[in-house]
């Protein structure tokens, strides 16, 4: 079975530069984050209407994972 191919359309930016600084529970730290779309996908119509919602679901993948291959543990 081959790995799925993903097109990167955006990146999530936060002030955390190391995994050990990220709080385990999101409600503990009031910390801003933002979604930055790649140039071909920067279109206001892509997010039109989102202001009417309190939450959105993001499907993401770590792009800087050091371990190669599958592991049953985190």
Domain ranges, residue 21: 10-52
* SS3 state at 12: strand
Query: What is the full per-residue pLDDT of the chain (74 aa) written as tens digits?
Result: 676 777 889 988 988 888 788 888 877 778 888 999 999 999 999 889 999 998 888 887 776 666 667 777 76
45 falls within a domain? yes
Token representation of residue 24: 């385990």
User: Under 8 Å CB-to-CB from 64, ≥6 apart: which residues?
Assistant: none
14 falls within a domain? yes
CA distance 10 to 30: 23
**Count of domains in the chain?**
1
pTM equals 0.64
69 falls within a domain? no
| DSSP H helices in 25-68 | none
CA distance 9 to 37: 6
62 falls within a domain? no
41 falls within a domain? yes
* SS3 state at 2: coil
């Amino acid at each position: 079975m081959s790995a799925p191919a993903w097109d990167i359309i955006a990146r999530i930016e936060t002030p955390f530069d190391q995994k050990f600084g990220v709080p385990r529970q999101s409600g503990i730290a009031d910390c801003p984050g933002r979604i930055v779309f790649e140039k071909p996908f920067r279109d206001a119509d892509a997010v039109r209407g989102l202001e009417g919602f309190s939450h959105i679901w993001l499907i993401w993948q770590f792009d800087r994972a050091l371990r190669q291959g599958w592991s049953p543990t985190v």
